[in-house]
Structure 1
Amino acid sequence: MEALLMVLIEALLSGVLEYIDSILLNLVPMAFYAERFLDQMLGRDAISELFNILFSFGVSLIILKFIKKGFNTYILWIDGDADTDPILYLTYFVKALVVAISFPTLYGWMATIVQGLTDKLLNIISRGVIADFSIIIASVVSGGLVPGIIGVIFFGCLLYLYIKFLQTGLEILVLRLGIPMACVGLVDSDQGVFKTYMQKFFQSMITVMLQIVLLKLSLALVINGHLIWATATIFMALRTPKFLQEFIILPGGQGGMMGKAYQATRLVQMVRGAVK
């Protein structure tokens, strides 16, 4: 029975080996610039066309929101404070337009900074480490049933984490597409949905950076023969989004509905944890 299981484990790991090299290529660009890979697979600049359409739509919404808010405030007197300086509303309007127009450039700078930091971290972790996965899999299989099972779990998590990278890349792409519409919230004094939107945006980018670093760390541990530590590290990489959510504080203050809902949820989680 054990010999049969070892044959099955070896077959599974050998199948995974075919995808390992392609999985580790272009992780950062794939997450931050998913449209390049999608356009290449589709054979045309479909995502670029979507950017242009949604940008025009978002700018139109910003203009309409500004006109509607100004009309309701200073002519109908049914929205906001009519004594507020009109220059203030004009400032909000200009700010929304500037952010919507300049965001592609700002995002390019931000992605370059995050990618540079990620590359430096990876260079430190991968220094002197040569990944030969055929040798790694052979050593896992030769170690017996328990290392073989742990190896299957590790490489299965590796494949799953790669799918999560693709999902996060698409998530960042969708957030980028929606930025012009999120900028409509900047016309309001409380910034509307924009603040929460950007919070989610930064969380996704930090998630990508941490997951890639943890993935490379787990591979370095495997290469050095520490399979259990490597498995624990890749589990941590999978848990990164939930881990980062622990530090998110929703805007709205203590009296806001969203703030109260968040506090109630955290209180319930703490009570459940204490009971367990």
Structure 2
Amino acid sequence: MEVILVLLIVAVLNGAIAYIDEMLQELVPMTLYADRYMIGSSGGSIVEVLFEVMLGFGVSLIILKFLKKGFECYVMWTDGDPDTEPAGLVIRFVQAVAVAVCFPILYGWMAEVTQGLIEELMAAIGTVTSYDWQAWVNGISSLGLTTAIFGLIFIICYFMLYFQFLMRGLEIAILRIGMPMACVGLLDNDKGVFKTYINKFFQSTFAVVIQICLCKLGVGMMLNMGINMNVFWGLACMVLAIKTPAFLREFLVSTGGGGGVINNVYHSVRLAGMAKNMIK
């Protein structure tokens, strides 16, 4: 009976490894640019098309809110402090329009830095974890039922993580589309919804970095089963990768003082790009 179960699990694993290597290689661009993979055959980008629609609507709302706040503050005296200089409101208006219009360029920079970082991290992990999927499956058949069950659990976690990457890609795509609407909050002194929105955006992107690295490390550890306890370390990496979004929510939270959000985003991207060039 044990032999039959092992053979069944090995057959399942043999069917799974046909997809796994290709899936791991495509995770980064698929997550950052999910729209290219959903309708890649048509050669278009649904995110870019929808962003153009939301951009016109978002800029219109920014203009309307700017006029409303200026009228209520400096004409009706019912909102804000009419003694404050109107230059502050004008600067916030320019910021909101500039971020909404230039966001595709800013996102392109951030995606390039993120992809470069992930590739370098995965290359570093790959130097210490070399593996062969087929050799791993062949070895499981001779290591007994317990090891085969752990291997099956590992593959199930791997596919769960893959579907989580698909959802993360859709989440980032939705955040990209809705950015012009979030920029309306920049007209408020506390940055309104924009502060929470941009925090969620960076949380999703940072989660991708951690999850892909943990996935790569987990695969390397699991497939080097010749070393004692590597099976459990591999499973631990995969489970933690699945729980990464919840783990990040514990400390990536919105804080007060959102006045420097735009400057922080700009300088973070620039510093990351400069650091990458220095390393090269």
Fold-level similarity (TM above 0.5): yes
Q: CA deviation at 1:128?
A: 6.6
1:170 paired residue number = 170
Note closer, same or farther for the CA distance 1:71–1:28 as it changes in structure 2 (3 Å cut): same
Which residue in the other structure is 2:234 paired with?
Answer: 230
Q: What percentage of aligned pairs have identical amino acids?
A: 47
* Partner residue in 2 for 1:125: 125
SS at match of 2:191: coil
Corresponding letter in the other structure for 1:50: L
- Residue 84 in structure 1 maps to residue 47 in structure 2: no
Alpha-carbon distance, 1:8 to partner: 2.2
Structure 1 runs of 4+ aligned residues shifted over 6 Å read none
Q: What is the CA–CA distance in structure 2 between the aligned matches of 1:129 and 1:237, rounded to whole Å?
A: 17
CA contact (8 A) 1:210 1:237 kept: yes
Contact 1:39–1:47 (CA<8 Å) still a contact in 2? no
Which deviates further from its counterpart, 173-182 or 9-18? 9-18
Name the SS of the counterpart of 1:24 in structure 2.
helix
- What code does the residue aligned with 1:60 have? S
Report the TM-score when normalising by structure 1: 0.87
The correspondence of residues 85-234 of structure 1 with structure 2, limited to 5 A, is 85-127=85-127, 129-225=129-225, 226-234=230-238
Give yes or no for contact 2:28–2:115 (8 Å, CA) kept in 1: yes
**Cα deviations across residues 220-268 of structure 1 (Å, max 9, x unaligned)?**
1123212221111111111111111111333358xxxxxxxxxxxxxxx
Q: Which runs of 5+ in 1 are unaligned?
A: 254-276
Give the aligned residue type for 1:140.
I
Native 8 Å contact 1:38 1:47 kept in 2 = no
Deviates more, 1:39-48 or 1:208-217: 39-48
Distance 1:102 1:185, change over 3 A: same
1:51-62 alignment to 2 at 5 Å? 51-62=51-62
1:156-201, Cα deviation, whole Å (9 max, x unpaired): 1111111111111111111111111000000111100101111111
Amino acid at match of 2:22: S
State the number of aligned residues: 253
Separation in 1, partners of 2:211, 2:7: 31
Greater CA drift, 48-57 or 145-154: 48-57
Q: Which amino acid letter does the alignment assign opposite residue 254 of structure 2?
A: L
Q: 1:61-96, CA deviations, whole angstroms, 9 ceiling, x for partnerless residues?
A: 111110111111112222212112111111110111
CA distance in 2, matches of 1:46, 1:197: 21
The RMSD of aligned alpha carbons is 1.7
Asked if structure 2 preserves the Cα contact closer than 8 Å seen for 1:183 and 1:194, the reply is: yes
Once the 2 structures are TM-superposed, how far is the Cα of residue 44 of structure 1 from its aligned partner? Answer: 4.2
Label 1:47 to 1:103 Cα distance change in 2 as closer, same or farther (>3 A): closer
Aligned equivalents of 2:86, 2:128: Cα separation in 1: 62
Mapped to 2, the partners of 1:29 and 1:158 lie a distance apart of 18
The residue aligned with 1:261 is none
Q: Structure 2 unaligned segments of length 5 or more: list them.
A: 258-280
Other-structure match for 2:17: 17
Which residue identity is paired with 1:8? L
Determine if the alignment matches structure 1 residue 72 to structure 2 residue 76: no
Offset at residue 132 of structure 1 (A): 2.5
CA shift, 1:109, in A, is 1.2
Report which stretch shifted further, 222-231 or 51-60. Answer: 222-231
Amino acid at match of 1:189: N
Structure 1 residue 43: deviation in Å?
5.7
Measure how far apart 1:106 and its partner are.
Answer: 1.3
User: 3-state SS of the aligned residue for 1:143?
Assistant: coil
Code of the residue aligned with 2:242 in structure 1: it is L
Q: Which residue does 1:274 correspond to in 2? A: none
SS at 1:195 equivalent: helix
Per the TM alignment, residue 22 of structure 1 is displaced from its structure 2 partner at its CA by 2.5
**In the aligned structure 2, how far is the partner of 1:45 from the partner of 1:243?**
32
> In structure 1, how many angstroms separate the alpha carbons of the residues matched to 2:251 and 2:124?
27
How do 1:231-250 residues align onto structure 2 when only pairs under 5 Å count? Answer: 231-250=235-254
Matches of 1:204 and 1:45, distance apart in 2: 21
